[in-house]
C-alpha cells in the first residue's frame, strides 16, 4: 500500500499519524509512505527522524479575530492545494490519512478532489476546525471519543476507533517503569506531568502541596516539570519538603513515559488526547487539569468525558491549588477500593486496538474506490 500521512503543529497530531503508519507497515511490510507537513511545523523535525520521506507545504492557521492575515492564509491554502496535488500525482498514493492541524487541510482536500481515498482521525471530543471542514469531503472519519460522532454526521463512514497512540503503551514493560525510577516493584506512586514541555500551573500546585506529602508515608510522587521549569521547581521543593524529600522525585523529562504510566498508581496531568488515550488503554486512574490555553478549550471536554465515566477527576485550572490537589490525591491514594473502581472505569474507556480499527477503515475505503 502507498500511503500519504499528514497532520501537524503539535505532537497530538503528529504521533497518531506515525502510529497509524507503523501499524500499516507491520501489517503490510511492502508499504511505502510519504509525510506531507508544514514547512516550519514540529513535524518537519520529528518525521525525518523516523526515517519517513517528508515533503513540506507553506501553510498557516486562521486567526480567530478579524485580520487581513486571514486573507493571506486563504491564499496559502490554495497554494498548498496546488502543491499537494503535484506531490500526490507524483507519489500516487492508495490512500491519504490526515490527523488534524491546519497543514492537513490542503493535503486531504487536494486528495479528495483528485479522487484519492481519504480518511481523517480526530483525537479530541470537540473536532478541530480543519477536521470539521474536511469531514464534508473525506470517505472515512475515525474518532477517539464516542461523543465526537455527531459532529461528523455528513461523513458516510464514521468509526469510534480510539487513539492509535494507545497501542504503544500496552507493550510497555511495567517492571522497567519502577526500575527506571529506582523504586521497588509495586511501590505506590503518583505521576504529575504537564506534557513534554511541562505546565507551570501543575508545577506550582506540586510545589505548594509538597510539604503535605509527609502525611502519605507510603506514597512516592514523581513530578515531571519540563526542561524549562526543572531547576526552579526542584530547588523550591527541596526547600519546602525536607521530611518527605526522599519520596519526591523531580525530573525534567521522562524518555520512557509508557513504562512509567504502566507502573503508576495515579496520574495527574493535562487532558491532551494522546495522554488520555494512553492512561485509559492501561486503566490508570487520573486527575486531569485541562489547559485553558488551547484552541476551542478542547481539553476540558476530554477531561469531562473521563470524569463522567468515573475513571478520573477533573480540576479546572482556575480552581487548582496545592491544597486542592493534595486533597484529591490523598483521597484516591488512601482508598484502594475506589482506586480499583476508577481503574476499571478507565480501562472501559480505553481503545487499545485503535490502530487496527483505523487500518480496517482504510482498507474499506480503498476497496470502495476500486
196 is in an annotated binding site: yes
Find the radius of gyration of the CA atoms of the chain: 21
269 is in an annotated binding site: no
Question: Residue 356: CB partners within 8 Å, gap ≥ 6?
Answer: 23, 167
95 sits in which H/E element: strand 95-98
For 33, 200, 234, 323, 327, the CA distances from 341, given in Å and listed in that order, are 42, 30, 33, 24, 19
| Residue entry with cell 468509526 | 159
Question: Are the C-beta atoms of residues 7 and 98 closer than 8 Å to each other?
Answer: yes
Question: Are the C-beta atoms of residues 301 and 325 closer than 8 Å to each other?
Answer: no
Angle between helices 11-27 and 354-369 (to 10 degrees): 70
10 is in an annotated binding site: yes
Helices (H), 190-335: 200-209, 230-240, 257-263, 273-282, 299-308, 322-333
Helix/strand/coil for 3: strand
239 is in an annotated binding site: no
What's the length of the chain? 370
User: What is the C-alpha end-to-end distance of the chain, expressed in Å?
Assistant: 14
DSSP letter, residue 52 = -
Planar angle of CA 264, 26, 157, nearest 5 degrees:
85
Q: Which residues belong to the annotated binding site for UDP-N-acetyl-alpha-D-glucosamine?
A: 10-12, 124, 196, 299
Q: Which residues belong to the annotated binding site?
A: 10-12, 124, 196, 299
Amino acid at each position: 500500500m502507498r500511503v500519504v500521512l499528514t497532520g501537524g503543529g503539535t505532537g497530538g497530531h503528529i504521533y497518531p499519524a506515525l502510529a497509524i503508519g507503523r501499524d500499516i507497515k507491520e501489517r503490510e511490510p511492502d508499504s511505502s509512505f510519504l509525510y506531507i507537513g508544514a514547512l516550519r511545523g514540529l513535524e518537519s523535525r520529528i518525521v525525518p527522524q523516523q526515517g519517513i520521506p517528508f515533503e513540506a507545504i507553506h501553510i498557516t492557521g486562521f486567526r480567530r479575530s478579524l485580520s487581513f492575515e486571514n486573507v493571506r492564509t486563504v491564499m496559502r491554502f490554495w497554494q498548498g492545494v496546488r502543491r499537494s496535488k503535484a506531490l500526490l500525482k507524483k507519489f500516487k498514493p492508495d490512500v491519504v490519512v490526515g490527523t488534524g492541524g491546519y497543514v492537513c487541510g490542503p493535503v486531504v482536500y487536494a486528495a479528495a478532489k483528485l479522487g484519492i481515498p481519504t480518511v481523517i482521525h480526530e483525537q479530541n471530543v470537540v473536532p478541530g476546525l480543519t477536521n470539521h471542514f474536511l469531514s464534508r469531503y473525506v470517505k472515512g472519519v475515525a474518532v477517539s471519543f464516542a461523543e465526537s460522532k455527531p459532529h461528523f454526521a455528513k461523513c458516510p463512514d464514521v468509526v469510534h476507533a480510539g487513539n492509535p497512540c494507545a497501542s504503544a503503551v500496552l507493550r510497555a514493560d511495567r517492571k522497567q517503569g519502577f526500575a527506571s525510577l529506582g523504586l521497588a516493584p509495586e511501590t505506590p506512586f503518583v505521576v504529575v506531568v504537564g506534557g513534554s514541555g511541562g505546565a507551570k500551573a501543575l508545577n506550582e500546585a506540586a510545589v505548594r502541596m509538597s510539604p503535605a506529602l509527609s502525611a502519605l508515608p507510603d506514597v512516592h510522587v514523581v513530578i515531571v516539570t519540563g526542561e524549562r521549569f526543572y531547576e526552579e521547581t526542584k530547588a523550591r521543593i527541596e526547600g519546602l519538603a525536607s521530611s518527605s524529600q526522599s519520596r519526591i522525585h523531580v525530573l525534567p523529562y521522562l524518555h520512557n513515559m509508557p513504562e512509567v504510566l504502566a507502573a503508576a498508581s495515579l496520574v495527574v496531568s493535562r487532558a491532551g488526547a494522546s495522554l488520555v488515550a494512553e492512561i485509559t488503554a492501561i486503566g490508570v486512574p487520573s486527575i486531569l487539569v485541562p489547559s485553558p490555553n488551547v484552541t476551542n478549550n478542547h481539553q476540558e471536554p476530554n477531561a469531562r468525558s473521563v470524569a463522567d465515566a468515573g475513571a478520573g477527576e477533573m480540576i479546572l485550572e482556575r480552581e487548582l491549588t496545592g491544597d486542592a490537589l493534595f486533597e484529591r490525591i490523598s483521597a484516591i491514594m488512601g482508598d484502594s477500593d475506589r482506586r480499583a473502581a476508577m481503574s476499571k472505569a478507565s480501562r472501559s474507556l480505553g481503545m487499545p486496538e485503535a490502530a487496527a480499527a483505523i487500518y480496517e477503515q482504510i482498507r474499506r475505503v480503498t476497496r470502495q474506490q476500486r
